[in-house]
Structure 1
Amino acid sequence: MNTGLKITAFAAAVAATFGTAYGVGQGIDPVTAEKKPASEHGGHAGEGGKEEKPGEAAAGGGHAEAVPGGLQISERGYTLALETPRIDADKREELRFTVVRDGTGKDGTGEDGAGKNGRGKNVTAYEKEHGKELHLIVASQDLTTYRHLHPTRAADGTWSTPVELPEAGGYRVFADFKPAGAKEGLTLGADLAVAGTYEPRTLPKPAMRASVDGYEVSLKGELKPGKAADVTLNVEKNGRPVTDLQPYLGSYGHLVALRSGDLAYLHVHPTGSPGDGRTKPGPGVSFAATAPSGGAYRLFLDFKHEGEVRTAAFTVYAGGSHDAGGVETPESGDSGHAH
């Protein structure tokens, strides 16, 4: 076992732990992220793939340029407080967190968010979006490990879910939700350190097809920087089109896109829904998505068939460039889904 790598992983874990504690109440990027121009825009997309206007940053109570989802730990008067900033690799552990309504300023409901003594208080009321009060995404910084989780909320507003992550290193946790009464949903992100022997992995190479559990998923279309573009994913099994996809979270597919480097988050949904009279249950699931900038992205498609949810992953480039800062060809990564 390489001692240097063990020390590096331990140092990364310590840095992430203290970085998370220091960052509460502030908008911060991941430690390894490259700084992006403030003028770049991304956001949270609603039903039909129509993109919502990203919210204003809440830090300091003033107006700020919109930034892609998931890059900030605090936004519009809400903070993601990760109570489990460090776990061990390849071990099933409980991940706990709260969403706190900050003690100063006004939140999306126009109400004062202050708790006792001016401190924030846990959010305990949410509006369901796509069948859930909150969607939790966990992804490694190298985008080779992905988890889509649906945690359980306690009466005091504490969320928890079991998680098992196979590789040591830096991860990003994304909470996608809409507080009750808020004008729109938002996505907050926080750093998670996974301790163990760290082995760097490179971004999977671009490909128009992905295999998962005997299914073949093909990708048609491309992301375009700052512009809506249509992408379609077709599902096959044993060489035959799957025409009986099952509804999952109110649709036939669920797509998450993460930008390589800083893990800017783009959450989109299909251009149709089950029961609308025009959307077929496969083999194709179409989306409208807007990339906040050019560069490499990792797409994760969740789909349900024969009673089980599976995830197909792709690497794509927005803007037609396949260089993306020297990304190398890697081994296939680890994607998963939990209920």
Structure 2
Amino acid sequence: MNASSKFAGFTLGLAAVFGIALAIGAALGPNATDTAAHDAHEEGPATDGGPSEYPAGLMATQNGYTLRLDTTQTTAAANAGLRFRILDQAGTPVTRYTRSHDKDLHLIVVRRDMVGYQHVHPVLDQDGTWSVPLDLSRAGDYRVFADFTPEGGDNLTLGADLRVAGNYDAQPLLAPATTSTVGAYTVSMDGTITPGRTSEVTLSVSRDGKPVTDLQPYLAAYGHLVALRAADLGYLHVHPEGHPGDGITPAGPDITFAVTAPSAGDYRLFLDFQHEGVVRTAEFTLTVGPAPAPTGNTPVPEPAHGH
């Protein structure tokens, strides 16, 4: 039995839900306390009434909220501190959030060539400043995504650039592949994605050739998937429906996602999963082909849902 969730819209975060459809960008798509937020997050329309098929994270300011980094340039370091604030329309730091997947805010950081992916959870002080250490040992231009829900508001994913000075060893996008190896683990991806339509993608985890059937909860789910569109780092973030302990969601080896890609093109997928107390990340490159040409008998593609 497989769980599924919507990836449409910011949350390919290819576990219950992040990212919401917004003006220029929209996110893609639990413990008991997360259920209501998950449902609204996944099924809600774009907050500005605009199209929900665009990724999120393309703007630093949206819907009256702004992601403000304390510094937009730093030097390469293996333990670099990052500080930032979420400001409201009046320029006041936000200090109250609605928790989603065990955290008030999820921070995704990746270099623009898709190297150095990190999913971390900063600490908030009383003045509204978030802080977190990052591995920025490789110089280059990074994109910082803050995925959060302000108290009484809608889920947002805001993005900002962070430049890391040093010798930039830019890497080409890895070729598309249906398997990813992480130590002794192999994650296989099965499914075909058609832009503008909801498509099922199943990720299967094995270790040393044997299916892993005892995945552990990570952020209130068995898998956490983020997808970035290679052309512009548009952010999509999804989780499978269901949650550990609900009596219907299996603990592996399969994690199934309902994915709605906003466009054809290359995407980079990052799957976080936990086993034996360690969180691992499997990475994939996926090429989404163009949608088939409509015919007289072809149904109208279903609209993308806000995440």
Same fold, judged at TM 0.5 (above): yes
Structure 2 counterpart of 1:94, from 68, 76, 81: 81
Letter paired with 2:27: G
Distance 1:233 1:93 in 2: 33
Mapped pair 1:78 → 2:65:
yes
Instruction: Map 1:190-201 to 2 at 5 A.
Output: 190-201=160-171
What is the aligned partner in structure 2 of residue 226 from structure 1?
A: 196
What is the aligned partner in structure 1 of residue 14 from structure 2?
A: none
What is the aligned partner in structure 1 of residue 10 from structure 2?
A: none
* CA deviation profile, 1:220-260 (whole Å, cap 9, x unmatched): 11332122111110000011000000011110000000000
C-alpha contact (below 8 Å) 2:25/2:234 kept by paired residues: no
Distance 1:65 1:240 in 2: 43
Which is worse superposed, 80-89 or 153-162? Answer: 80-89
Distance 2:60 2:75 in 1: 22
Distance 2:196 2:247 in 1: 31
Which is worse superposed, 121-130 or 42-51? Answer: 42-51
C-alpha contact (below 8 Å) 1:50/1:288 kept by paired residues: no
Distance 1:162 1:42 in 2: 27
Structure 2 counterpart of 1:290, from 260, 269, 278: 260
Letter paired with 2:170: P
C-alpha contact (below 8 Å) 1:54/1:68 kept by paired residues: no
Which is worse superposed, 246-255 or 88-97? Answer: 88-97
Structure 1 counterpart of 2:140, from 157, 162, 169: 169
What is the aligned partner in structure 1 of residue 274 from structure 2?
A: 304
C-alpha contact (below 8 Å) 2:229/2:235 kept by paired residues: yes
The 1:233/1:192 distance shift into structure 2, 3 A limit, reads same
Instruction: Map 1:103-182 to 2 at 5 A.
Output: 103=90, 120-182=91-153
State the secondary structure of the residue aligned to 2:117: strand
State the secondary structure of the residue aligned to 2:78: coil
Distance 1:192 1:131 in 2: 26
> Structure 2: 5+ residue runs without aligned partners?
1-21, 30-36, 292-307
State the secondary structure of the residue aligned to 1:164: strand
Distance 1:289 1:52 in 2: 16
Aligned residues: 261
Q: Quote the offset at 1:47 in angstroms.
A: 4.1
Q: Whose RCO is larger (CA < 8 A, sep 6+)?
A: 2
Q: TM-score, normalised by structure 1?
A: 0.73
> Structure 1: 5+ residue runs without aligned partners?
1-37, 57-62, 104-119, 322-339
The 1:291/1:52 distance shift into structure 2, 3 A limit, reads farther
Structure 1 counterpart of 2:27, from 39, 43, 53: 43
Mapped pair 1:54 → 2:46:
yes
RMSD over aligned CA atoms reads: 2.1
C-alpha contact (below 8 Å) 2:270/2:284 kept by paired residues: yes
Distance 1:263 1:279 in 2: 31
Q: Quote the offset at 1:271 in angstroms.
A: 2.8
Instruction: Map 1:260-275 to 2 at 5 A.
Output: 260-275=230-245
* CA deviation profile, 1:198-225 (whole Å, cap 9, x unmatched): 1221001100000012100000113321
Structure (1 or 2) with the larger CA radius of gyration: 1
What is the aligned partner in structure 1 of residue 172 from structure 2?
A: 202
What is the aligned partner in structure 2 of residue 213 from structure 1?
A: 183
Distance 2:258 2:74 in 1: 36
C-alpha contact (below 8 Å) 1:44/1:52 kept by paired residues: no
Q: What fraction of aligned residue pairs are identical, expressed as a percent?
A: 50
Letter paired with 1:101: D
Distance 1:54 1:87 in 2: 35
Q: TM-score, normalised by structure 2?
A: 0.80
What is the aligned partner in structure 2 of residue 16 from structure 1?
A: none
Letter paired with 1:317: T
The 1:99/1:144 distance shift into structure 2, 3 A limit, reads same
